A = this chain, B = another copy of it.
Amino acid sequence: MNNSYGEIFRITTFGESHGPALGVVIDGMVPGIPLSEEVVQRELDRRRPGQSQLASRRNEADRVEFLSGVFEGKSTGTPLAMLIRNTDMRSRDYGNLAEVFRPGHADYGYFAKYGIRDCRGGGRSSGRETAARVAAGAVAKCILARYGVRILAHTLALGGVRAERFVPEEIERNAVRTADPDAVRPMVDAILAAQAARDSVGGLVECRVSGVPAGWGEPVFDKLDAELARAMLSLGGVKGIEFGDGFAVAERRGSENNDALSPDGPVTNHAGGIVGGISNGAEIVFRMPVKPTPSIALRQQTVDVANRATEVEIHGRHDPCLCPRLVPVVEAMTALVLADMCLRHRALRNF
């Protein structure tokens, strides 16, 4: 259903931006995996707001609490529930938004869908919902670590500036999470310029996964790339995805695009590590365009809940660019997909 993801390693998330708490329940947990709140907290800290002037200044500790499923430092195989209390909720920031729909936001569709909505800070459609995904993803990473899987996302482009180098250890050193040391300054400047103009900027996030053995993924509807695409497009602001050479293959011939095979595996990696929906042992690579934050302080044309024309200026605490904080969320969703695929693969093998 809508708030669950996964077939065997299955998560269910809950929580609104300005409600009491966010959380997640993991059902289908592998028993005997060493786990601690610290390991999860580390990932949450990467996502949480208030870390720099480039991000929302909402000050949330995002402190995780294990409610079940762990005994004496190990998973028991029973549901692992994690809770994150909301603490810094200024609903008054949003008070004026109860009656109008924000352009580029989920408000309009939510109201059409449910006929009711929690208008404080976007409610369930807030990016804050992804904290629960990050907590679950941290657990999924512990499972994948057994296989040596390593997931790295980074900001590939931002406000028209594109990273040209890939230096993995650079990513966590800068506020925009780019892997190119030379791109940091221009990207930061792009954000500051947009902020000054009461506006926002878009970008590209790329994810690279090494260590996935050949054979993960399912061959028809649940292809590995199909599930990753679903997972990425389930993130607010992501407007597309491409694997390997992606859109560029439209102008290729088969002889240029096929990855020849050798006893050491694929010789090239145009496919991005997935062929026919199943991993082939090469690095998995995909990229997503991320739209500029829709919440901007500039005046915009809109309608109210009675469908009357009006205007709106949005003055909450928003990120001027979604990419930097999306990076750990992309990794989390990737981990969730792969952990489930890993277990699905194992279920029917070596019988």
Contacts and interface: CB of A to CB of B under 8 A. Distances in A.
A257 B222 CA distance: 32
Nearest to A219: B125
A316 interface: no
A14 B8 contact: no
A8 B123 CA distance: 22
A122 B201 CA distance: 45
A175 interface: no
A292 to B, nearest CB: 4
Contact of A248 (B19, B33, B289): B289
Contact of A31 (B116, B214, B272): B116
Contacts of A202: 249-253, 257
A239 B242 contact: yes
Interface stretch (A41-49, A55-63, A298-306): A298-306
Given A5-B221, A104-B258, A105-B276, 10 more contacts: A14-B78, A16-B71, A19-B67, A32-B351, A204-B250, A220-B234, A229-B241, A249-B292, A254-B298, A257-B292
B219 A31 contact: no
A294 B249 CA distance: 12
A200 interface: yes
Interface in A8-23: 8, 10, 12-16, 19-23
Contacts of A2: 27-28, 218-222, 344
Given A1-B28, A247-B289, A262-B301, A129 B220 contact: yes
Interface string A250-283: 1111111111111100010001100111111100
B1 A222 contact: yes
Interface string A147-160: 00000000001011
A23 B67 contact: yes
25 contacts: A12-B27, A12-B79, A25-B25, A30-B351, A32-B114, A71-B116, A78-B123, A106-B219, A112-B215, A113-B215, A113-B217, A125-B219, A157-B250, A157-B251, A199-B255, A220-B234, A222-B234, A236-B276, A239-B271, A249-B291, A252-B292, A254-B296, A255-B298, A260-B300, A261-B301
Nearest to A234: B226
Contact of A14 (B16, B67, B249, B257): B67
Contacts of A328: none
Given A20-B65, A241-B241, A259-B103, A76 B347 contact: no
Contacts of A52: none
A234 to B, nearest CB: 4
Contacts of A71: 16, 19, 116-118, 123
Nearest to A214: B112
A124 B234 contact: no
Given A3-B221, A348-B31, A254 B25 contact: no
A28 B301 contact: no
